[in-house]
Amino acid sequence: MTEKLYDADSHLCEFTARVTECKECDGGYAVILDRTAFFPEGGGQESDRGVIDGVSVLDVQIKDGEIYHYTNAPLTVGETAECKLDWERRFRNMQNHSGEHIVSGIVHRLYGCNNVGFHLGAEMTVDFDRELTRKQLDEAERLANRAVYENVRIKAYYPPEDELEKLDYRSKLELTENVRLVEIEGYDLCACCAPHVKRTGEIGIIKILDFFRNKGGVRVFIKCGSDALADYGVKYDNVLKISNLLSVKQQDTAAAADRLADENRFLKQELSTLKKRLINAKSESFSPEREITAVFEDGLDIKELQLFADALYKKCGGIRGVFSGCENGYSFAICGGEQLDGFFAGFKKKFAVKGGGRNGMVQGTVAATESEIENYFK
């Protein structure tokens, strides 16, 4: 059985180990070492990456107690290999995972919630079995960050069975053998197989982001340490841009965006009223020379096209099409009496048309030029 170096020292990132097995498998090799600091995927946390003798470790999995390092090249059995973790990835995982333990411990103590689902990949999510409000999560966040400022010790250990029975800890399972406890002094005690930072100060900021109702509880998104800093950077850039665009202070951007949305709604209404007036005026002054006509008017949406075509038809009868330029041709609405169906069937045959309709009106889009449409209507 491989010795789990990550169990004893979470900060060990360079080590030597003997290759005890190397077998070809799907698109690569499965390597077993006599000892390893590579954490295999488990407990919701993704596996470590790095190199063994310069060969990339693409994944690490534990199966039936055996730890397999999946590599893209073979290694020589019996040789001692130089191993190195992708420390940035590991440390980022530890910051998030330790931060999650603190939040889960606090939420458990304050609100009696149990952590019933944990995932740490590109994002970190935690599922709690009871609903929580933003206010409750804010309080948990405040206390979690206090735990970071206090820089308390985090230790992992295997207590003896008889002691374990008496202990009150989170994730207490049926398992009574080889239970590894992770203790965050004064904040949490939880069964966990993953490596953690040594003191809470290493975690950095703990930020609870979005949450939503999920299976009778809530799913919460949390970012810690370098992830939280990167997230802050992205959000800061956004707020800075918005504040410059709207010429308001950064803390006033939401209120300014709100005003802008109101203004936008008002302007849309105004524009719609003006377009209707324009359509009415144009329809009123319309005096057709022919029974069938096509009118071209840019900037009309499908409803306005329908309104326009309908107004023209009501005034003059015949077949009245209105066209407005769109991405690959024209949007249109055509109104007519009994002869419309035959006319539209021919129109669809002649051009690439998407759309249809009934009760004397058809609408859609057509890939054709103005003159092609004009000619057909003639």
The least distance separating Zn ion from the CB of residue 366, rounded to whole angstroms, comes to 60
CA end-to-end distance (rounded Å), the chain = 86
How would you list the strands of the sheet with 329-336, edge to edge? 292-296, 319-326, 329-336, 361-367, 352-358
Do 149 and 139 touch, CB atoms closer than 8 A? no
DSSP state of 285: T
Using CB under 5 A as the binding criterion, the count of chain residues that bind Zn ion stands at: 1
The least distance separating Zn ion from the CB of residue 45, rounded to whole angstroms, comes to 7
- 358 bridge partner residues: 361
By CB under 5 A, tell whether 102 contacts Zn ion: no
Q: Which residues from 81-100 bind Zn ion, rule CB under 5 A? A: none
The least distance separating Zn ion from the CB of residue 106, rounded to whole angstroms, comes to 15
Q: Which is nearer to Zn ion, 187 or 323 (CB)?
A: 187
Q: Which is nearer to Zn ion, 2 or 93 (CB)?
A: 93
Give the C-alpha separation, 156 to 192, whole Å.
9
Q: Which is nearer to Zn ion, 55 or 192 (CB)?
A: 192
The least distance separating Zn ion from the CB of residue 181, rounded to whole angstroms, comes to 10
Q: Which is nearer to Zn ion, 188 or 304 (CB)?
A: 188
Q: Which two tokens stand for residue 7?
A: 């169990």
**Which residues have C-beta within 8 Å of that of residue 359, sequence separation ≥ 6?**
none
The least distance separating Zn ion from the CB of residue 194, rounded to whole angstroms, comes to 5
What is the torsion angle, in degrees rounded to the nearest 10, for the CA atoms of residue 329, residue 335, residue 341 and residue 344?
A: -20
Nearest residue to Zn ion on Cβ basis: 192
The least distance separating Zn ion from the CB of residue 97, rounded to whole angstroms, comes to 6
Q: What string marks each residue from 178 to 197 as x (binds Zn ion by CB under 5 A) or -?
A: --------------x-----
Q: Which residues from 43-62 bind Zn ion, rule CB under 5 A? A: none
Give the C-alpha separation, 209 to 139, whole Å.
13
Q: Using CB under 5 A, list all residues that contact Zn ion.
A: 192
